[in-house]
Structure 1
């Protein structure tokens, strides 16, 4: 059986590109999604078109039972080798002093608690301490973690800073247990998430401040994720790689 990769938030953007890239690399792919069944099914078909085994599973990563069910489904497909913690949300752009507690709770539940839950379940299955045969966790952070997103998404930026710190701590904790933990920090990338923030064309606007003078593409971030997950990065752990065009 082929090694299995779980990609959370795999139905669109960076997640979808990562699923397809993983299928091309020979993984069996489990596509996690929360609402868009048609989009997830399309990603599954793209993976199958290159000869990979692929399936979609609906589940909210901030819900513990859903996360456990997702990992149980992965075990049916084969040995879990990689988790890509990609699921994340943001809310409309606004000043920090206009934000509500409900907004903060929502963003932190998905972006932080969700990533923590998934990483915990991956560690329980992949760590040699638990009888696993090792593997890789790749967290999708953001350049927002060091830019801060003032006037737009300070809360989102803070959640990604938490992911950066988790990557360091968990990477070092699992380093001698066969599990590498790394992160990628995309910069401004041309995905649908900008529409969630109320500005669908944000990538093009912000790209003027990127040294490479263009937005990134989901496939470029996916390539970085798959490198971190691969044996080519076998001596890399507790590390975050910027994929931001120099920004």
Structure 2
């Protein structure tokens, strides 16, 4: 399907996959509403998108907050032709064993990955259902099904986010809903992993040394291709980079 003139919400859009996705959607002619915590960096991405000839709105704030989720969806409705969202925001906190994390760190990981996904769906779904359909994408991770010491909270949060996406797909067939698993991508999370305390750093260093990291731009282009080519076939499933 053509994305021309559609409006998409993208979280975690100030850098990495989110930034690359915002720009790729704009190149495809889509308007974008962008969310992230860093207001200055987020506005810079919005300006880059506007330079490509589309409407772009920056909505800085914590994606897990009720107010931010409301503002993201409202901004998309104001622009018009709200087509869907991509929940890409996430926090890793690599290194410590699960039981060594502080409550604040645990809450931050689950807030960005799970609660933010719920909040966005809570405000987007009524609008998408009312208009007869749309697309909801949750950026997932292989960590959801792989137990590795040092990323326990992140893996648990991603497993919960995957389940949330599949539950939404089961409950509301009008909205195409799937998880996009991009593989191993050269982002700040990878750098955090390489600098983390404990044995997990060696795994992340190995990704770099083995040349296994793909760029955020490659990852974003793949997702846009999925959105343009019958995304419904992935409803209730995990779509991977290779599927594009």
Per the shorter chain, which TM-score range? 0.7 to 0.9
Looking at structure 2, the residues matched to 188 and 203 of structure 1 have their Cα atoms a distance apart, in angstroms, of: 12
Count of aligned pairs:
236
Looking at structure 2, the residues matched to 13 and 49 of structure 1 have their Cα atoms a distance apart, in angstroms, of: 19
Give the equivalent residue in structure 2 for 1:59.
61
Give the equivalent residue in structure 2 for 1:141.
140
Q: Could you tell me whether the CA contact under 8 Å between 1:93 and 1:198 is conserved in 2?
A: no
State the Cα deviation string for residues 34-88 of structure 1 (Å, max 9, x = none): 12x2321221122122211112111211111221122111111112102000111
Query: CA 1:112/1:105 → structure 2, altered by over 3 Å: closer, same or farther?
Result: same
Looking at structure 2, the residues matched to 236 and 194 of structure 1 have their Cα atoms a distance apart, in angstroms, of: 27
Query: CA 1:195/1:215 → structure 2, altered by over 3 Å: closer, same or farther?
Result: closer
Q: Could you tell me whether the CA contact under 8 Å between 1:92 and 1:198 is conserved in 2?
A: no
Give the equivalent residue in structure 2 for 1:185.
181
**Which of 4, 25, 28 is equivalent to 1:22?**
25
Give the equivalent residue in structure 2 for 1:9.
12
Deviates more, 1:64-73 or 1:193-202: 193-202
How far apart are residue 234 of structure 1 and its match? 3.3
Give the equivalent residue in structure 2 for 1:232.
230
Give the equivalent residue in structure 1 for 2:157.
159
Q: Could you tell me whether the CA contact under 8 Å between 2:193 and 2:204 is conserved in 1?
A: no
Looking at structure 2, the residues matched to 78 and 203 of structure 1 have their Cα atoms a distance apart, in angstroms, of: 44
TM-score scaled to structure 1, two decimals?
A: 0.86
Give the equivalent residue in structure 2 for 1:116.
118
**Which of 216, 219, 222 is equivalent to 2:220?**
222
Structure 1: where are the runs of 5+ without partners? none
Deviates more, 1:196-205 or 1:97-106: 196-205
How far apart are residue 208 of structure 1 and its match? 6.4
Q: Could you tell me whether the CA contact under 8 Å between 1:203 and 1:215 is conserved in 2?
A: no
Alignment RMSD: 2.5
State the Cα deviation string for residues 154-182 of structure 1 (Å, max 9, x = none): 1001111111112222112221x2x1001
Structure 2: where are the runs of 5+ without partners? none
